[in-house]
Amino acid sequence: MPGILDAMVLASRQLPGRLTGDQRKALWSLSKSFSAGRATRTLLHGDVGTGKTWVYLVASVAFARLGLPSVVLAPNAPLSAQIIAQVRSAWPDVDCGLCTASIKDSNALLRVGTTALLGEIDAADENYGILIVDEQHKFSVGQRSIPADHVIEVSATPIPRTLALAETGGWSLIAMKESPVPKTIRSHILAAADRSAINALAAQCIQSGKRVVYVYPLVQDGPKSVISAHAKLDDYFKAHGGASLLHGQMSDAQKNQAVADFKAGATKVLVCTTAAEVGLDVSGIGLMVVIDPHRYGASQLHQMRGRLARDGGQADFIMYTGDDVVAPKSMKRLEDVRDCQDGLELSRRDLDARGIGALVGAEQSGRQRTLFLRQGVSLDGLRASA
């Protein structure tokens, strides 16, 4: 593709900070792929905090500056707003627009948005220069099938199907491990007997100037609902400004305000559902407590953990089982998360447990069968035949 290398170099030089070695390698790998003159499919992997967003935004901006329409698909409105703010801050000359359920700005060369974009794209019936799917594990195969010459799917915990395609040569795999800041996250599995210790740790965390996040499994109905918990925690932390509330049934404006208050320090505590799993780019979170962690997959838990210590330092991730009796299989999953900090390794274990899905088709996990012998297909088998 003529001009793409120069456009990416220029865009990278306009970034607000210095690139890590892994970011430079990722951009070089992408530029070589784009320059080869053929369609590409890439899985960009890196744990939260390795700088994946800036890498794919450099590529998106380069395409837009060359007059090629670009799309960044994100799983929720707060993350979409955060991404568009990064673009406008680093590259104010770029024609970019936000598209969510409540905002429609879909005529720009670089479009960022939620699945609300899909209707606009179907109506336009055009081919795109590049498609970025951020947090690709949150989307179906159909939602990720926007026609584009180049596709980059981004995740710290890719779905089994995409990981299998990447590890067997069907897609390119770019793995980023280097973080711009050193950090240590300690992971724990705690039960009801440890509740007072958790509260003490939360208070200590706030007093040291850090933030705290509580994640609840339900929006309403019951003592473990985020709404019920928020009322109690808002009162408990009243001396520290109370607590913000964030869940999926809130309007986009309410979600954005909750994140803004938490980010600005108006509140030091955020009580939320898995809305915190993606897009919560807030520095200084020193503690996250996940209630009923056995309800979540390893990938979800790892994504939540990635919100901690974004600016470096130490943080604690607590999986709080309470009084529940956790099944052995579920406890093994929690122990895997506690003992493993590598999202790619957790995704491989997920693949082994759930299967690779349909390499041709819509299933993103499950046991794939061969065409004639109806034998199960394993990742090792695919690697051997690739």
| Polymer length of the chain | 386
Which domains does the chain show, CATH number per domain? 4-176 (3.40.50.300), 183-343 (3.40.50.300), 348-385 (no CATH)
Residues of the chain with pLDDT under 50: 359-375
pLDDT number for residue 154: 94
Contact 308, 317 (CB under 8 A): yes
Dihedral sign, Cα of residue 220, residue 224, residue 230, residue 231: positive
Rounded to two decimals, the pTM is 0.80
Could you give the angle at which helices 4-13 and 52-65 cross, rounded to 10 degrees? 130
Q: Cα dist. 324→47, 274, 321, 333 in Å?
A: 30, 20, 6, 16
pLDDT value, residue 76: 85
Are 160 and 169 in contact, with CB atoms under 8 Å apart? Answer: no
Q: What pLDDT is attached to residue 278? A: 64
Per-residue pLDDT tens over the stretch 311-356: 889 999 999 999 888 999 999 999 999 999 988 888 888 777 766 6
| H helices, E strands: number in the chain | 13, 13
**CA 372-374-380 angle, 5° bins:** 105
CA 368 to chain centre: 26
- How would DSSP label each residue in 308-352? TTTTSEEEEEEEEEET----HHHHHHHHHHHH---HHHHHHHHHH
**Predicted pLDDT of residue 360:** 47
Query: What is the pLDDT at residue 337?
Result: 95
Residue 365 is predicted with a pLDDT of 47
Going from the C-alpha of 78 to that of each of 347, 354, 376, the distances in angstroms are 25, 30, 40
